Structure 1
Amino acid sequence: MASQTINNYREGAEIYKGDELCKKKSIELLEELCLPKGLFPLEDMEEFGYNREAGFIWLIQKKKKDHVFKQIKRAVSYAPEVTAFVEKYKLKKMTGVKTKELLLWLSVVEVYFEKPTSEKLTFKTGTGLSDSFVASAFELHREGAEIYKGDELCRKKSIELLEELCLPKGLFPLEDIEEFGYNREAGFIWLIQKKKKDHIFKKIKRAVSYAPEVTAFVEKYKLKKMTGVKTKELLLWLSVVEVYFEKPTSEKLTFKTGTGLSDSFVTAFVEKYKLKKMTGVKTKELLLWLSVVEVYFEKPTSEKLTFKTGTGLSDSFVASAFEL
């Protein structure tokens, strides 16, 4: 049964029933508001209502839906009943939507673009905290996309696309590909394979792991905002978010990880059992060098030595490995 709040706005409202029609009408409304069409990934919707005069909407689904927006790796929970007041570029006074921050679920009360020209969508929680994400992460990419099924056809089409982008044809060594999709308008691709594939690029002796679902935004010479691809450094798997040529004439291909790589150099300070703020020491990730900023024992009695990079990542190894 709908809440009293919804019942207060039923009079004069447009009300739709059934999952398919509710999805269609809610997407049309998001388009009308100039908001991403994938903001309401609800399932088994029973009712969608919109009171235009009051600027109030509601969505009712059979049960709570937890959804992960994969591009930004953000979990959002939608209650059986979701409501909001709406205006162009904005949802406000929302109920029924929560986002996970650390181990806490925080209520989302507003979703909006700061400006009509903004590329990022801002989420504001009931605590006053807010965060912004690329709006494309909330779009529906299957709509209008070229979609192919079956391993042989998917391989052929993905290789053709890499050629079209002037990228190496062996970048996606996936197996048992079930689906390949390309939304040309959004510049978004996805590949779905039966299971994770670990692959070693023998020429550079580098291991790369491909998840069952791989996605990316593409442009000539470049894959960006990638998900589902990781490369191993130390004993850690780092997400690869971009693969690109710096220039059309470049002979080298650049791989960028989700750690936001950067090199900063400061004078080294030394304390017992620890070197910190180091300069001149780096560890290699793909074709990039990551700065090692600390090498230390957690305790004087530790048998393992920890290496920490400038990205915040760290790993520990038996100290004997570094003995003469």
Structure 2
Amino acid sequence: MASQTESHRAGAEVVSGDAICRKKSIDLLEELGLPKGLLPMEDIQEFGYNRSTGFMWLVQGRKKVEHTFKKIKQMVSYATEVTAFAEKGKLRKITGVKTKELMLWLSVVEVYVPEASPEKVTFKTGTGLSDSFDVRTTCSKAPTMASQIESHRTGAEVVSGDAICRKKSIDLLEELGLPKGLLPMEDIQEFGYNRATGFMWLLQGKKKVEHTFKKIKQTVSYATEVTAFAEKGKLRKITGVKTKELMLWLSVVEVYVPDASPEKVTFKTGTGLSDTFDVTAFALGE
């Protein structure tokens, strides 16, 4: 598979990092008219697509991922490398994907949505056996946050690459009057900010980053995707950020610096609990 991938690398669009690879694969599936949740791989390290040959590939960090599509109780296995030739409504000559039938794992060689029945998706195995499922009850939905990002992408300033993304996020926090070290994410793949809607997002290469702010001994977790609505002195409707309280991880939904106390920053969780700290605890490098 690796040699097959290499033979199609010239002229291909190739990206690295879980967040951007996941986005690119979902975008391609959507473009092809296939269910967007068809490739639920984990820790994706590389995505490539050669538009001239139709060859696509995904390389994930894990040796194998087994995923059960709950609504149809169907288990599918994804190898470290998954490849296919993509065309409208179809992935063919697939490698690295297997489906479980009784006690056997059968290689999936083709997945397609027939033009005559766009509500159905068919999986064809190397044995010649095939099975069809309702697109809506199998794997048609993309992650909620990704779709939220897409709805704000038009008109947004979007940059790629860790250094420029980090700079842009720090500049925005400074502009908002928030601590500049508030989002210590790693290997940032994409930063976006739609000034008209106030929506901002960060996509990082790592699946999750846990950071302990030393001065207050507070651990905060940052998911692959972090989103928020930004306004002066505040980030609200935050997704992808959690704080650890005792043994529990609580979602952080709002962070703000009160006008009356600019030296303080408050974190509000989805449970309604909030806590206030000195702004200096979230300076760059803390």
- Considering only CA atoms, is the larger Rg found in Structure 1 or Structure 2? 1
Q: Which has the higher contact order (CA 8 A, sep 6+)?
A: 2
Structure 2 length-normalised TM: 0.49
